[in-house]
Amino acid sequence: MADALSKVPDVEIDPEGKFKYILVNIKVKGGTDNKVIVRGTKSAEYHNHIFEKVNPAMETLGLECSCLGGGKIEHISNDKKLHVFGESTGYGKADHAVTVEKIKSVYKDYEVTME
């Protein structure tokens, strides 16, 4: 089951714009293997809308989710810049330092900053 974790991308965010994001811990049901993922999209009016899409998708892989908090991301693809800031009213503030490290591992040639 641990390979189910490796199949889940660490970061899935919109290619451009300012949008909400959540930091999610996923783990194998009944196990201890886990990892943290970043999900963000402009289509979400509220942070919980992102979780409502992520959770069922992870459950079909046999994984459990818990939201670790949220915030916002500004993605300026022309300048190769990502800025992490803000917080979620419902989930609280995500650990932006964790988010930035996850993003840097995927967007290697980007300048990634946080507030």
In eight-state DSSP terms, residue 60 is T
Side chain identity, residue 92: G
Active-site annotation holder among 47, 75, 83, 96: 47
* Residue 108 assigned ligand-binding role: no
Cα–Cα distance measured from residue 47 to residue 40, given in angstroms and rounded to the nearest whole number: 9
pLDDT of residue 1: 55
Whether 69 contacts 7, CB under 8 Å:
no
- pLDDT tens per residue, range 64-115: 999 999 999 999 999 999 999 999 999 999 999 999 999 999 999 999 999 9
Q: Is the pLDDT of residue 38 over 70?
A: yes
Known catalytic residue at 75: no
Residues with Cβ within 8 Å of 105's Cβ and at least 6 positions away in sequence, in order, are 10, 11
In eight-state DSSP terms, residue 38 is E
| Segment 43-65 mean pLDDT | 96
| Percent of the chain with pLDDT strictly greater than 90 | 92
| Percent of the chain with pLDDT strictly greater than 70 | 98
| Segment 16-35 mean pLDDT | 95
